[in-house]
Each structure stands twice: as C-alpha cells, then as structure tokens.
Amino acid sequence: MNRNLPADLTTKERLYHIIFESDTREGKNFDVALLIAILLSVLTVMLESVSSIVREYGALIRSTEWFFTVIFTIEYFLRIYCARNRKGYILSFYGMVDLISIIPTYLSLIVVGTQYVLMIRILRLLRVFRVLKLYHFLGEAEILSRALRQSAAKITVFLGAVVTLIFIVGSMMYLIEGPENGFTSIPVSIYWAIVTLTTVGYGDIAPQTIAGQMLASIVMIMGYGIIAVPTGIVSVELSKADIKNKKSRVSLNASSKQFCKPQEIKWEKIQQKAK
C-alpha cells in the first residue's frame, strides 16, 4: 500500500522520494507518468521514420520529440540535484541511459539522423520492475546472468570452432562454384556460408553445381546441430545456477530458524520468571 509523503520534508528530500522511490503515492504517480512519456517518445521516433507520416505531420512530430527531450532533460538534472550520491547516479547504468536518451536530439542539430538513436530510451522502461515491485523477476534475471557468465568460456570455444568452419566452407565453395556462379570472392562465399550455416538462407546466392549443392546440404544439416549446442550449454549452467540459488535459500532459512530459536527460549524463560 502506498503511503503519503511526510509534510516535514525539505524540497530536496521530497524530490528524492518522488523521483527515486516508488513506495509513496506521489512517487508511484511520477513513475507511471514517466513510463507513459517514455513509450510516447519512442512511438514519436518510430513515426518520424515513416516518410508518408513525416510529409504530413513532420512539424508536429519534431515538436513532440523536442517536448519530450526537454522534459527528460529537466528530469535528469533533477535526479542529479536530489540524488544522495550524485556521482554514483551519474556513473550508474540508469544514469548513463538517462543521459544517452537525451543527447541524440541535441546532437541532431549538428549531425542529421542521430535523433533515431533515441530508441535507446526504451531501456528506461526497465524501471517498470521497480515501479510494479517485480523484484522476483530481477532475481531470475540474476540467475540467467550468472549462467551466461559460467558458460562464456565454453561458448567462446564453440564460436571459435564455428568461425573456423565457416572460413573453410566458404573457401571450398569458392573453389567449387567460382565467380561464374555468383561466388565472386572468398568473402562473398564466407557470407553465403554464414547465411547457410545459421539456417537463414536468403537465397540471393545459391550453388549451381552438384558438388556445391552436396556441400550446401551438409552445411544446412550441420546448422541445425550447431544451433542446439549453445542452447544445451546455457541450459546446463542455468540448471546449476538455479540449484545453487535454491540451496542458498534453504541454508539462509535454516540459519534464520537457528537464530530465532534461542531468542524464543529466552523469551519463554522471562515469561516464566514473571509468573
């Protein structure tokens, strides 16, 4: 349940609770309004990339974009003003995202097209976990992050082997097909090998000879197997991380009970003496 802000707070303390906290009615309303503004600003940037809409409503879209940029700029400096650790906020992940989300609009006055980088504002929606109190999702994200870190070495070795295979297959296809069949160089052949091995298959380049088609068939079949390898690696590490997290919770609960039991016994003795 959201509480009201105390009346005896200074302006700076009041701003801090509204902007950085979400356990008050004012703070919750601010965060919800901020999330809506972020969504509307991202929608504005998306509409600006549609030429038919820009021709008719270009001035309105640019004005709206500047309106949101000014709002977010004021919000950013208010965060710096009322933050308890200003340097910590500025150098934090959210602080960097808040800054980067306003720079492109000002930069677009010098470099045309940089306003589309404003799509990075979508990262600010990560605050929805704090606003809606979805902290258990953050715990699950930490487990996933830990699993990815643990499997990084295995995946790096695997990717190294895949890159080596791509270079070999690309070179072989260049020798088999040659420029007359569209494989004009080894880099082009490597591009084909990447597209085929990942089972994307754009179809802009295709082998014409029987030998080339046989090699392509082998590469396609290998592609399905290669996709499954990193999935298995991450799944194993994710399972290990989940088990480790559950064990730590069990041990924490056990230690908590051991601490509480002597306190309960002591309280019972005090009550007996009082009787």
Average pLDDT of the residues in 89-103: 88
Q: Any bridge partners for residue 3, and if so which?
A: 24
The per-residue pLDDT for range 182-228, each reduced to its tens digit, is 899 999 999 999 999 888 878 888 899 999 999 999 999 988 888 88
Q: What is the mean pLDDT of the chain?
A: 81
pLDDT at 75: 92
Token representation of residue 98:
């808040």
Q: How far is CA 46 from CA 61, 71, 120, 142, 199, in A?
A: 10, 19, 12, 31, 30
Residue 8 burial by CB count (10 A; 0-12/13-18/19+): exposed, middle or buried? exposed
Angstrom distance (rounded) from CA 201 to CA 205: 9
Rg (CA), the chain: 29
Sign of torsion over alpha carbons 228, 229, 234, 240: positive
pLDDT at 254: 56
Does the pLDDT of residue 130 top 70, yes or no?
A: no
Neighbours of 148 (CB within 10 A): 15
The per-residue pLDDT for range 52-83, each reduced to its tens digit, is 898 898 899 889 999 999 999 999 999 999 99
Does the pLDDT of residue 30 top 80, yes or no?
A: yes
The DSSP 8-state label assigned to residue 184 in this structure reads -
CATH code, residues 149-274 = 1.10.287.70
Banded pLDDT at 169 (limits 50, 70, 90): very high
Domain ranges of the chain: 11-133, 149-274
Banded pLDDT at 48 (limits 50, 70, 90): confident
pLDDT at 129: 64
CB 36 within 8 A of CB 121: no
CB 150 within 8 A of CB 240: yes
CATH topology of domain 11-133: Four Helix Bundle (Hemerythrin (Met), subunit A) (1.20.120)
Does the pLDDT of residue 262 top 60, yes or no?
A: no
Angstrom distance (rounded) from CA 173 to CA 197: 13
